[in-house]
Structure 1
Amino acid sequence: MTSTQPELAAPTARTLVLLSLPAVIIGVVSAFALWAVDEVAGLLEDGIWTALPHMLGVDPHSGWWIFLVLTFTGVAVGLVVWLVPGHAGPDSATTELVAAPLRPGIVPSLALAAVLALAGGVSLGPENPIIAINTSLLVALAARLWKAVPTQLVMLMAASGTIGALFGTPVAAALVFTGVVAAVKGGGALWDKLFLPLVAAAAGSLTMTFLAHPHFAIPMPAYTTITGWDLLASVVIGAIATGLGIVGAFLFPLIHRAFHALRHPLLMTMLGGVVLGLLGALGGPITLFKGLDQMGDLVQNRDDYPPGELALIIVVKLAALLIAASSSFRGGRVFPAVFIGAAIGVLAWALIPAIPLQVAVSAGVLGMTLAVTRDGWIALFIGVAVTSNLLVLPILCLAILPAWLMVTRAPEFLIKPAVRPTSPRAAGGAGR
C-alpha cells in the first residue's frame, strides 16, 4: 500500500501493553477527524443541494444545476490548490492509500479541498485525504507526547484507525496491513506486529460506529445455497469488472497527462468541474458523490433501472472517477470503484435474473475494487461487506483467482512520477 515499507522490530509483550493506550487514543482521534470531515461536508452538501435550490425554487436534480454546482466546485477546489498555503498537498492521483506523512501545515488546505469535493458531488471518496490528514497530525502529535514511539508505528496506527473508521470494522485494517507487515524485516510473529495497528483500528471503528453508524451492507434478497452456476457467474462478472477497471487504469495516465498539460491548478480543476458537470447532467444524481449512499439506492431500486440506463451509469461513473482523479481534485478512488462494481453486478442481474443478486453485486465489487486497489484482501473484504453474507466468501475466493491474474501485468490505477534518465556524464561521475 505504500512505496516505502517501514522496518518494524518485533515488540515485546510489555511494549504492546504500554503502547495499547496510545493506540486507542490514536484510533479514537482518527475516527473523530473522519467524522468531523464528513459532518462538515454533509452540512455544506445540504446547503448546496437542498437549502439553496429550495430557496431559489429550482430542481437540484436538473442537469443545469448539476453542471453549475460541479463547475463552481472545480473553481473552488482550484483556488484552494492554487492559493491556499500548503496547496492541498500532493495530487491524489499520485498517492497510494497509505503514504508518508505530510507537513502539518499542508493539512488545512487538504481538508478544505477534500470537503469542497465531497460536498460538491465530485466522484471521489474521502479515504486518501483523511488518511493523509490523520497520519500527518498524529505523527506530529506523537513526536511531542510519545517521543519513544517510532514514527513508522504511529503512521501505521493512524492509518489503521482511519481505515477501521472508514469501513466500520477493524477487520479491514487488519487485512490491508497484513500484506504490509508480512513484507517487513525484523522477525517476530505477524500478530505481534499487527497488534497495535489492530488496537487503533478497533478504537477507530467503534468510535465511528457510535458517532455515525457507517455501513456497507445493502439489503438484498436472501442467499442460502451455492450452486455451480453461481460459481461460474461470479468468475465471469468478476473478470468483466476487473477488465473494465483495467481499461480505466490504461486511460488514467492519458487523461491525467492531458489535464496537467494545462499546468495551472485553477484551469485544471475548473475544466474538470465543467466535464464532471456535463457527466453528472448525463448520468443523473445517482452518479454523483463518493457513491456509498448512491450504491444502496441503486441496488434497492434496481427494478427502476433498465439495462441500457445501468450501462450508462457505469460508463458515466467510471469517466467521472477518471476525470476527478486526473484534474487535481483531492479524494480517494476506492469508494467510487465500489459503486461501479455494484452497478456492474446489478446490470448482470438485470440481464440474467437467474443470477442471485448477492453473487452478482459482490463479484462486481470484488473485480472493480481489485483493479483499482491492487489489493486482494481489501477486495475480498468489501465484496463480502456489501452483502453481509459469509456464504459469498468461498465464491469470491474462486472469482478472485482469474481476476488477480488479470491485474498482475496490468497497469496500476495510480500515477507515478516519471523517472528522469541519468545523463552519461552524471553516471560516470557517480561511478568514480
Structure 2
Amino acid sequence: MSAEPAAGDGTAPPDPLAVMRSRNYLGLLLMVAALGVPVSAAAFGFLALVQELQSLTYKDLPRALGLHGTPLWWPLPLLAVAGLLTALTIRHLPGTGGHKPAEGRLGGGPAAARDLPGIALAALASLGLGAALGPEAPLIALGGGLAVYAARLVRPGLAPSAAPLVAAAGSFAAVSALLGSPLLGAFLLMEASGVAGTMLSLVLVPGLLASGIGALIFTGLGSWTGLGTYSLALPHVPHATQPTVAE
C-alpha cells in the first residue's frame, strides 16, 4: 500500500466509485480483512480483563475483607484510587490517556503506537474501578491505533492517506459486537468520529468488512470461552413499577 488509495491532486475531491474500483483500494480491503482478526481478538481480551477487574474489586475484594456483600460506600475509595491511577498514567505516559471527553468527537487521527499503553492503562484503571461507564471510547482509540501499527509492520510504505482508512477499520472491528450488531457499532463510530462526505463513502466499505469480521471473532471467542460477546445490552432488567418518592 505504498501508493495513494485516493485519486485527485488535492484541488478537487476524489470520485469515490473510481477509488473503490482501484487496485490499491482492493488491496486495502484485503489488509483490513486480515487486520480485523487480531484487532477484534485484542478488543475481546481487553473487555475480558475489564470485566475481571470489576468482579475482583466490587465482589471478591469486599468478601476477602470480611464484608457481607458490597457496602453502599464501597465505590468511594475505589473511585479515588481510579482517579489517582488515571492521573499518574496521564502525567507520566505518552498519549494523555486518550482523547479529552470535554472536546467531544474522537478526532485527531489514529493514536500512535507509543500512546497505546497509556490509553490502555488509563482505560483499565477507570473502567475496572468504576470511574467510567462505557468502553467504547478506549476501544475506538485502541482499535484504530493497533490497526495502523500492524499495517505499518506489514507494509512499511503505508501511504499517509491510507492510515485513516485503516484506523477507522480497526475501530470498527473493536466495537463490532459492543451494541449487539456490527451495523449498530458502525453507526456509533460514524457519529463519534464525525466522518462525512467523500471520506464516509471510502471508509464505510472497509469499516463494515472489518466490523463483520470482528463480530465473527467476538462470537467465536465468546462461545469458546463462555464469556459471551460483552454486548452493552442489559441482560436482566427488572419489571417497571410505579416510581417511589425516592426514585
TM-score with structure 2 setting the length: 0.75
Q: Secondary structure, in 3 states, of the residue corresponding to 1:159?
A: helix
CA contact (8 A) 1:168 1:208 kept: no
1:77-96 map, 5 Å? 77-96=86-105
Identify the match of residue 243 of structure 2 among 287, 306, 326.
306
Identify the match of residue 38 of structure 2 among 14, 25, 29.
29
Q: How far 1:185 moved relative to its partner? A: 6.5
Tell me the matched-pair count.
223
Identify the match of residue 229 of structure 2 among 191, 214, 219.
214
Identify the match of residue 171 of structure 2 among 151, 154, 159.
159
Q: Secondary structure, in 3 states, of the residue corresponding to 2:70?
A: coil
> What corresponds to 2:213 in structure 1?
203
In 2, distance between residues paired with 1:211 and 1:61?
30
> What corresponds to 2:72 in structure 1?
63
Q: Secondary structure, in 3 states, of the residue corresponding to 1:63?
A: coil
In 1, distance between residues paired with 2:39 and 2:178?
10
Q: Secondary structure, in 3 states, of the residue corresponding to 1:23?
A: helix
1:288-367 map, 5 Å? 292=232, 295-297=234-236, 299-303=237-241, 306-310=243-247
Q: How far 1:87 moved relative to its partner? A: 3.6
CA contact (8 A) 2:168 2:203 kept: no
Q: How far 1:144 moved relative to its partner? A: 3.1
Q: How far 1:125 moved relative to its partner? A: 1.0
Q: Which amino acid aligns with 1:162?
A: A
| Change in 2 beyond 3 A, CA 1:74/1:59 | farther
Larger radius of gyration: 1
In 2, distance between residues paired with 1:64 and 1:90?
30
| Change in 2 beyond 3 A, CA 1:156/1:85 | closer
Q: Secondary structure, in 3 states, of the residue corresponding to 1:72?
A: helix
Q: Secondary structure, in 3 states, of the residue corresponding to 2:109?
A: coil
Give structure 1 stretches of 5+ with no counterpart: 1-5, 217-291, 311-432
Identify the match of residue 121 of structure 1 among 112, 118, 130.
130
Q: Secondary structure, in 3 states, of the residue corresponding to 1:105?
A: helix
In 1, distance between residues paired with 2:33 and 2:56?
35
Q: Which amino acid aligns with 1:128?
A: A
1:3-402 map, 5 Å? 9=16, 10-12=19-21, 14-15=23-24, 17-97=26-106, 99-146=108-155, 147-148=157-158, 150-176=162-188, 183-184=197-198, 190=201, 194-212=204-222, 213-214=228-229, 292=232, 295-297=234-236, 299-303=237-241, 306-310=243-247
Q: Which amino acid aligns with 1:184?
A: T
In 1, distance between residues paired with 2:147 and 2:56?
31
Q: Which amino acid aligns with 1:306?
A: P
Q: Which amino acid aligns with 1:158?
A: G
Q: Which amino acid aligns with 2:208?
A: L
> What corresponds to 1:330 in structure 2?
none
In 2, distance between residues paired with 1:309 and 1:206?
44
| Change in 2 beyond 3 A, CA 1:119/1:175 | closer
RMSD value over aligned CA atoms?
3.1
- Name the structure with the higher helix share: 1
CA contact (8 A) 2:89 2:121 kept: yes
> What corresponds to 1:272 in structure 2?
none
> What corresponds to 2:3 in structure 1?
none
> What corresponds to 2:7 in structure 1?
none
In 1, distance between residues paired with 2:199 and 2:209?
21
In 2, distance between residues paired with 1:102 and 1:8?
28
Q: How far 1:99 moved relative to its partner? A: 4.6
Q: How far 1:86 moved relative to its partner? A: 3.9
